Amino acid sequence: MTGIPGAALLVLLGYLIGAIPFGLLIGRLAGGVDLRQHGSGRTGATNALRTVGIVAAVVVFALDAAKGLAVVLLVGWVYPAGPPGSPPWVAAAVGIAAIGGHIRSIFIGLRGGRGVATLAGAMLATTPLVVVIVVPLVAVIVWRTRYVSLGSLAGALLAPLGAAVLIAFGQATPAAVALGLGGAVLVGVAHADNIARLRAGTERRIGQ
């Protein structure tokens, strides 16, 4: 699989894999709950945590992250050739497509999660060190503020910044920065309502 047709097919496949609504499936298995009808109406791990508990939330996060990880690794397996230097950029495009699919899933009426876990999985496949650095920082932000949304937004913003810094040490590529940047934009847009509530001081903290 090479060239523009192959890349386009992989981007479409990335979107479709990203669009698999694992949160909706786990919610129904865990307690017969449709996450779209509870809490924020999102199908990601945070709403799963508030609605069906921590175990389900961990499973949802892991599966959503696996989507991003799998689609990027898939490019390495089936798109080994092409114009010089193109595979990393195709992988970045496929990763971004998966994040978009998670946020706007064609399988559930263009609804979904906020894309954080899928972005984390895609970055893990391209630049693992970014995830190693960013995850503890996100954990500290969430612990200190009890705002999951704030930690998620910070993590999304730090992903491309961390990849850009790591380029100087030979641990990242410009394509990884593009993946992080594209993912951060999508995650930021998906958090528009959270950002409004954070600014207004009405965002819910963990435990509320």
Per-residue pLDDT for 2 more than 90? no
User: What is the pLDDT at residue 16?
Assistant: 98
Q: What average pLDDT score do residues 8-16 get?
A: 96
pTM over 0.85: yes
Q: Which residues share a beta bridge with 105?
A: 111
Distances, alpha carbon 18 to alpha carbons 57, 100, 175, in Å? 17, 7, 19
User: What is the pLDDT at residue 76?
Assistant: 87
Residue 51: which H helix or E strand, with range? helix 45-52
54-78 and 116-126 helices cross at what angle (nearest 10)?
A: 40
- Interval 112-149: pLDDT, tens: 999 999 999 999 999 999 999 999 999 999 999 999 99
pLDDT-derived band at 177, boundaries 50, 70, 90 = very high
The C-alpha atoms of residue 62 and residue 119 are separated, in whole angstroms, by 12
- Interval 74-107: pLDDT, tens: 998 888 766 666 889 999 999 999 999 999 999 9
The more confidently predicted of residues 168 and 84 is: 168
The C-alpha atoms of residue 18 and residue 11 are separated, in whole angstroms, by 10
Q: What average pLDDT score do residues 143-161 get?
A: 96
User: What is the pLDDT at residue 80?
Assistant: 75
pLDDT-derived band at 163, boundaries 50, 70, 90 = very high
Domain boundaries, the chain: 3-200
End-to-end CA distance of the chain: 49
- Interval 46-63: pLDDT, tens: 999 989 999 999 999 999
The C-alpha atoms of residue 23 and residue 43 are separated, in whole angstroms, by 5
